[in-house]
Homo-oligomer: A and B are copies of this chain.
Amino acid sequence: MTADWERQIYLSMTDMEEAVNSFLERILPCRETLGEEWIPVQKSRGRVLSRPVLARTSSPRYNAAAMDGIMVVAEKTYPASEARPVLLERGRDFEYVNTGQVIREPYDSVIMIEDLALPGEVPVSGGVGDAPQVIVRVPASPWQHIRPMGEDLVTGEMILPAHHRIRPRDMGALMSGGWTELPVLQQISVGIMPTGSEIIDSWEAWEPGKIMDTNSWTLQAMAEEAGYPACRIPPVPDNVEALKLALLELLEEHHLVVINAGSSAGSRDFTAAAIRELGEVALHGIAIKPGKPTILGMVKGKPVIGVPGYPGSAYLVFEEVVLPILRFMSCQPPQEQRPRADAVLSRRVISSLKHREYVRVTLGKVGDKLIATPLDRGAGGTMSLVRADGLLVIPRNFEGIEAGAEVEIQLLQELSAVENTLVSIGSHDLLMDHIASQMKGYRLSSAHVGSMGGVMALMRGEAHLAPIHLLDEATGTYNRETLRRYLDGKAFLLKGVRRAQGLMVAPGNPKGIRGLEDLIRQDISFVNRQRGSGTRVLTDYLMGQRGMKAQDIRGYDREMTTHTAVAAAVAGGTADAGVGVYSAARSMGLEFLLIGYEEYDFAVAEALRDSPMLEAFRRVLDSPEFRQLLQELGGYER
């Protein structure tokens, strides 16, 4: 069942390019009325010329020596040869001249100092600049080694056209052409307005239900990185009058205002109301995901953009909608497309027919294949923005893309950094983060899909290594059997750590849980790990030993993909117990009831055996700092 307001949105949902282009037409007057100012050339980097700049003076302004040497009248050297050198006398036939110095009448040629000799075969070195007589063995031609006046720039010649954005390498020509101040367009300035009564401005003000404002700072930094000065005000509460007041104030000082959040069409749609009451909502709803509830509006002849509140949405809408508008307003050409690369998709992605979807991915180079792994698509997360190496764009009217498909990725990260990334797919442990931070010269990317997920990624050639802790129930040994069975000849085992697994329970163990046996109690809710994870295998093994059954346990079906997610569920009170490692329990302040030790090792692709990347990884494992870390974290042995 679809509510009225939602039907209304979907009816008006516009393709992004169409939405942006028709909006650009509307804001053409903003561009045409943009002011001009004069600034010193020295401070003009990144500024946009308001008109063509022609040379005011020639450069050089005179005929100049292009070499250190002597200036001569070329004709006097015409008789010179190896056999019959010509002797020249200072003051009468030549003068010394350094690079850049003026060639005076009647001189019309320069001979380089290294082509001169002193009378009597004295070799020329340093002292030549004082000799009253020199010998020339090769005739000089007129105008040799002379930079003629105007060689670089001639008065009236265009140095740069209007609307050119000044680069450092333009400054030399601008200054040589006689300019000290330049006519440039006013900078487009951006006002940024976070909104929401639940939004707070510092952690000191935090209480449950309050959310720290992080978006507006990210957007400010994005604007500034693109060269647009931006000013962010403190969060404005959800109140149409307050929003209107703040908006009008920002519009006084800025060329464009971004309102963050309040743009969803939910029960709190104050942003659209404020824009509508002061001006006009040109469009509400763009067919992209994330970013659907974007608002394009005009107030007092200036663009006002409503950007959704989730970090992933805010980032994408700023990149795809706000930046093109800013570039247009500052007379810059449309932004360059992101660099692209072909990759193999490591996991299936499902998409909605209604939107163009932007899926953040991490990238890794395994063998000669670039592997793209979709990140968690919850728009609420901030870490997937940190981790994203690229974007997979799925057009409208596509249902999704299968695993193994060849896809084009828009890069957010340099490919060379991707190539220096050790791709780990498998079981999660906090240690992987610490190893990552110690790997000199290389990145370590960790995807957490459980031990068997890692083994399968290695089999498909999509990972360099897989952290695993897989118990073979028949032999009671860890990892070796799995390697033999699935990865024989394809991967080898690198010993990792022994680690403690246990039940994590709330501080003080309020439910008095004594061990696994208690999980069947009706007053206890459990949080599980996903199938294929080593922890799940261990849990099921130990439950089997005790004759316990899945259906007896509340929450057995609630699956998390990391130790820390399990710990967080317990710490958050949504479960009374979960199985995981000691370090995860400790980091969330939980109690830990030991159930056993296991071996957390690394299955490594054969191709990596002698690679410097693996060497860097091994070096961390073998370092004294790592041993000390294990001690500090507790629950590990190596």
- For residue A234, CB closer than 8 A to chain B, the reply is no
- Known A-B contacts A58-B588, A224-B45; the reply to A173 vs B383 at CB < 8 A is yes
Chain A residues 188 to 216 lying within 8 A of chain B, measured CB to CB, are: 198, 202-203, 206, 208-209, 211-212, 214-215
Query: Are A572 and B63 in contact (CB-based, < 8 A)?
Result: yes
In the complex, the answer to whether A150 meets B564 with C-beta atoms within 8 Å is: yes
**Which residues of B sit under 8 angstroms from A148, Cβ to Cβ?**
565, 568-569, 572, 574
CB <8 Å contact, A218 and B383:
no
Q: Which among B176, B218, B436, B583 is the interface contact of A161 at CB below 8 angstroms?
A: B436
A241 within 8 A of B: no
Nearest-neighbour CB distance to chain B for A122, whole angstroms, equals 12
Stretch of A86-94, A163-171, A400-408, A475-483 contacting B (4+ beta carbons < 8 Å): A163-171
A266 on the interface (CB 8 Å rule)?
yes
Determine whether A523 belongs to the interface, using a CB cutoff of 8 Å to chain B: no
Contact-residue bracket for chain A: 35 or more
A311 with B380, Cβ < 8 A, contacts A156-B430, A267-B68 known: no
**A175 CB within 8 Å of chain B:** yes
A147 touches B1 (CB 8 A): no
Chain B residue nearest to A206 (CB atoms) is B61
B6, B100, B158, B172: the one within 8 Å of A214 (CB): B172
Interface status of A105 (Cβ within 8 A of chain B):
yes
Minimum distance in angstroms from A570 CB to a CB of chain B? 10
Residues in B whose Cβ lies below 8 Å from that of A221: 42, 45, 168, 171
The yes or no answer to A120 lying at the interface (CB within 8 A) is no
Kindly state whether residue A2 has any CB partner on chain B within 8 Å: yes
Question: Which 9 A-B pairs give the minimum distances between C-beta atoms?
Answer: A150-B568, A149-B572, A156-B587, A158-B433, A168-B221, A52-B437, A172-B382, A154-B564, A173-B382
A residues touching B (Cβ–Cβ < 8 Å)? 1-6, 41-42, 45, 52, 54, 58-63, 66, 68, 98-102, 105, 108, 113-115, 117, 123-126, 128-129, 137, 142-143, 147-162, 168-173, 175-176, 178, 180, 198, 202-203, 206, 208-209, 211-212, 214-215, 217-222, 224-225, 264, 266-268, 309, 311, 315, 333, 336-337, 339, 378, 380-383, 385-386, 388, 414, 416-417, 420, 430, 433-434, 436-437, 439, 441, 443, 558, 562, 564-565, 567-569, 571-574, 583-584, 587-588
